[in-house]
Amino acid sequence: MGPVVRRTVAVVLAAAMFAEAAGVAWLNWFLAMVVEGQRMSLAGLDPDMVARSSRIGAVLFALFFVACGAVVLVSAIRGRALGRLGTGLLVTVAVVHGVLGAAAFALVGFKAFAVLAAVLALILLFLSSPGRRREDPGPGDGAGAEAPPSPSSGTAPVAAG
């Protein structure tokens, strides 16, 4: 896959991650408002604690999806492969999408599953696309500015002394 396709996939994936961050945050916030409005208790739990926990979950999940989108976007802009942290984040979000996709298929329906499966496919496509390694110089990185002497030049470096 070429760099243009990789960047396009990355931009679409980052947009999807940002949209999911907003959607998940809204859904959890809405659930907290429902719990507060109905004064529902789950197995004797305090409704205020359930609502507060839902809001905390909304913020944490939104930050997680925004971080994943930012990592993908930065990698696309720089044209470089992900590091260990970025790869770990994207593998984690891929697993989350797989589990959410299965739950969405069972609870919501095929359309929700199809959306999550499409985002999962984008994540896997981005993870499997080869990016430029961190050691490889690219255009504008000073490529060719200081090339080491080649061993076939026949001249040995002179030691200062």
pTM of this structure: 0.75
Q: Is 140 part of any domain?
A: no
Q: Is 103 part of any domain?
A: yes
Q: What is the percent of the chain with per-residue pLDDT over 90, rounded to a whole number?
A: 52
Residues in the chain: 161
Number of alpha carbons in the 13 Å side-chain half-sphere of residue 135: 0
Mean per-residue pLDDT, 119-132? 87
Structurally, the chain folds into a number of domains equal to: 1
Q: Give the domain extent around 59.
A: 3-131
Buried b (16+ CB within 10 A) or exposed e, 74-86: ebbeeebbbeeeb
Inter-residue contact 24 to 16 (CB < 8 Å)? no
Per residue in 7-25, pLDDT (tens digit) is: 899 999 999 999 999 999 9
Q: Is 73 part of any domain?
A: yes
Per residue in 72-106, pLDDT (tens digit) is: 999 888 888 888 898 999 999 999 999 999 999 99
Q: Is 143 part of any domain?
A: no
67 vs 27: CA distance, rounded Å: 19
User: Has residue 35 got a pLDDT over 90?
Assistant: no
